[in-house]
């Protein structure tokens, strides 16, 4: 038993170290490179172009990458536990589709120009919340939630939202079309410090709340019926975790756009390495998602410098390749169960 906990502690410490290294590398890397030897002097002086770049551009991106990557990966681990389905991710339930549709409506109607830039994240979050309520209430039968029905409804709502998005894109102007497409590909370029703080504290709060349900999640791996025999109120657990995961996803999508594969592939990799116990899986998935998104952001900023690729392109390519590799692995199924 002590050996297992020691292994968990070592693994988490390694992830923490990798998180710090990734953040430092992201801080120093960009169109204007900064040496690690120069960093203390720049931070102490608190003036000049290099300090402005660090404090106004790179540091906010690091915080946002840490928060969004961690939150998406955490919600992926939670939802895969709720549905006992390794292919479920934060966007499967149509939450991203609802957020995208809300933002597309605001862009097409020009409300973000007349009412301010806050309209975009507000519309995205509102769209995701509406989707959450639709999926939740349409899934209830006789006071109980059917998780298979919930999953199917989420997929259908995602298809409907995608079709509505294509309709809006077909009737929008070239300028609006560019704005919609750019937002859909994801970006960590968020100048508003208030929104960054909202995402950061939301992701940390989601992580803390999820740990109150680590034992119920472990029990749900055996099925709802067996979880009830172990004294777990599976209905309440599923409801609370569904709302927490959905709200986290909605906040991330509203601020950073659609960044795919983080919530799908990272929990898989963590589960294969350290095991399926949610007492270590939740924190490890959070840190793993943060590391993945920070590294992806570095690649997006530097691969065609001075231009920048949308981060969703990088996460999609890297995540897709890794996922195919994981699926092809001989021990994938045995490690997952």
The CA radius of gyration of the chain, in Å to the nearest whole number, is: 20
Quick check: 289 and 73 in contact, CB under 8 A? yes
pLDDT exceeds cutoff 50 at 330: no
Query: Which residues, other chains included, contact 208 with Cβ-Cβ below 8 Å and sequence gap of 6+?
Result: none
Helix/strand/coil percentages in the chain, nearest 5: 75, 0, 20
Phi first, then psi, for residue 140 (nearest 5°) are -85, 130
- In a 13 Å sphere around the CA of 272, the CA atoms on its Cβ side amount to 17
Domain-wise residue ranges, the chain: 2-336
pLDDT of 190: 81
Which DSSP state fits 56? I
Higher pLDDT, 113 or 284: 284
Given pLDDT bands bounded at 50, 70 and 90, which one contains residue 116? low
Q: How confident is the model at residue 112 (pLDDT cuts 50, 70, 90)?
A: low
Contact in structure between 55 and 47 (CB atoms under 8 Å): no
In CATH, what is the architecture of 2-336?
A: Orthogonal Bundle (1.10)
What is the pTM assigned to this prediction?
0.89
Reported confidence tier of residue 332, pLDDT bands at 50, 70, 90: very low
The residues, any chain, with a CB within 8 Å of residue 241's CB and separated by 6 or more, are 78, 81, 82, 210, 213, 217
d(Cα 182, Cα 257) in Å, to the nearest integer?
9
Q: Give the pLDDT confidence of 39-93 residue by residue, as tens digits.
A: 888 888 777 788 888 888 889 999 999 999 999 999 999 998 888 877 788 777 7
């Amino acid at each position: 038993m002590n050996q297992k906990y020691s292994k968990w502690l070592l693994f988490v410490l390694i992830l923490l170290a990798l998180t710090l290294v990734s953040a430092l590398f992201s801080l120093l890397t960009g169109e204007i490179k900064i040496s690690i030897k120069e960093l203390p002097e720049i931070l102490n002086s608190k003036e000049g172009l290099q300090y402005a770049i660090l404090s106004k551009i790179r540091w906010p991106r690091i915080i946002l990458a840490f928060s969004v990557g961690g939150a998406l990966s955490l919600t992926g681990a939670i939802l895969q536990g709720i549905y006992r389905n390794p292919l479920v991710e934060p966007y499967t339930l149509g939450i991203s589709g609802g957020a995208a549709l809300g933002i597309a409506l605001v862009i097409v109607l020009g409300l973000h120009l007349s009412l301010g830039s806050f309209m975009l994240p507000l519309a995205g979050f509102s769209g995701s919340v509406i989707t959450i309520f639709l999926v939740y209430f349409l899934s209830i039968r006789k006071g109980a939630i059917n998780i298979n029905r919930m999953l199917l409804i989420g997929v259908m709502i995602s298809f409907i939202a995608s079709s509505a998005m294509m309709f809006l894109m077909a009737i929008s102007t070239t300028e609006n079309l560019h704005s919609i497409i750019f937002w859909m590909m994801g970006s960590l370029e968020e100048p508003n410090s208030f929104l960054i703080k909202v995402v950061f504290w939301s992701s940390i709060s989601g992580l803390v709340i999820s740990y109150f349900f680590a034992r119920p999640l472990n029990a749900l791996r055996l099925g709802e019926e067996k979880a009830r025999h172990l004294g777990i109120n599976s209905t309440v657990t599923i409801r609370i975790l569904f709302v927490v995961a959905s709200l986290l996803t909605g906040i991330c999508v509203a601020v950073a756009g659609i960044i795919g594969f983080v919530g799908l592939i990272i929990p898989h990799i963590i589960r294969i390495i350290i095991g399926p116990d949610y007492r270590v899986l939740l924190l490890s998935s959070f840190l793993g998602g943060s590391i993945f998104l920070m590294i992806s952001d570095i690649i997006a900023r530097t691969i065609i410098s001075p231009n920048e690729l949308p981060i969703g392109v990088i996460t999609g390519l890297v995540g897709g390749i890794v996922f195919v590799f994981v699926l092809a692995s001989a021990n994938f199924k045995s490690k997952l169960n």
